A = this chain, B = another copy of it.
Amino acid sequence: MKVKVAFQGERGAFSEQAGYAFFGDRMIPIALHSFEEVFKSVKKGDVDYGVIPIENSLYGSIHQNYDLLQRHNVYIVGEVKLRIKHYLLANYGVRMSDVKKIYSHPQALAQCEDFLKKLKGVEIIPTYDTAGSAKMIKEKKILDGAAIAGKQAGKYYGLKTLKSGIENHEKNFTRFLILSKRKIIARKNPKTSIIFTTKNIPGALFSALGVFAYRYINLLKIESRPIIGQPWRYMFYLDFEGSIEDEICADAISELKKMTQYYKFLGTYEKGREVE
């Protein structure tokens, strides 16, 4: 059965690639302009799922999406850890020696700095988007330039790979979350994400983490975000191993709730594999 999957960006974006890694050929990709539109279209049921990036292993968290997870009632139902592999893409017929201009998003350009530094007489041109650069060289039939983007962009716009794996760091992964308006609890290799705020007393965070530590529940990530209107107080996003339906985790959460001012369950989902 086909599923409609929304993501932010141009067709061929890394988010689309993450979607295909998760859903395979069942996926009907729906490209939207903003992360907020992805959340809204999942909530309204216009699409079956959404895919959003949540953190990069070199640059850290995408905070806008943390904030949107708190504000919108959607569930996390899956995870993908996509290796961010950059490709130098060009129209068919263009050779490496023809390339006088290279287009991409500033962050992708920075990630490929070592490769770009070695090129002589090539102009580096920042653009709004990686997949958008691939689209542009295709549409404008550019024959003296190339774009830096992901594999999916090359495939979608029918471009040739001049060079692959041109990023500085090979351990460059982005973790993506799969969103649904239905709560679906994973049974296999589960992890759980929650949000909470502690009471404003010394040792509050320590006590909150204690409900997990005393039960040997492994914490995978903690992220703090400001509480709006209460300067210098924070909300905590926690990822831990296990399912909300495990007795031991359910126990931990019921103890945690007694210590918190605010608590929200985001989802229990299968731990993501690392994919290319």
A-side residues, CB < 8 A to B, are: 55-60, 63, 81, 169, 171, 173, 175, 202-203, 205-207, 209-210, 212-213, 216-226, 228-232, 234, 274
Chain B residues, Cβ within 8 Å of A221: 224, 232, 234
Q: Which residue of B lies closest to A222 (CB)?
A: B224
For this chain, the copies found in one complex come to: 2
B213 and A55 contacting across the interface, CB-CB below 8 Å? no
B63 and A226 contacting across the interface, CB-CB below 8 Å? no
Most buried by B among A57, A81, A221, A274: A57
Chain B residues, Cβ within 8 Å of A210: 206
**Given A205-B209, A213-B207, are A231 and B63 also a contact pair (CB < 8 Å)?**
no
Chain B residues, Cβ within 8 Å of A217: 202
A210: min CB distance to chain B, Å = 6
**Given A203-B213, A203-B216, are A228 and B169 also a contact pair (CB < 8 Å)?**
yes
A206 and B206 contacting across the interface, CB-CB below 8 Å? yes
A229 and B171 contacting across the interface, CB-CB below 8 Å? yes
**A209 and B207 alpha carbons, distance in the complex (Å):** 9
**A230 and B57 alpha carbons, distance in the complex (Å):** 8
Given contacts A171-B229, A203-B216, A206-B210, 20 further A-B contacts (CB under 8 A): A55-B226, A57-B226, A59-B226, A60-B63, A60-B225, A81-B231, A169-B228, A169-B229, A171-B230, A203-B213, A203-B219, A206-B209, A206-B212, A206-B213, A206-B219, A209-B209, A221-B224, A221-B232, A221-B234, A222-B234
**A152 and B69 alpha carbons, distance in the complex (Å):** 36
B232 and A220 contacting across the interface, CB-CB below 8 Å? yes
**A56 and B225 alpha carbons, distance in the complex (Å):** 10
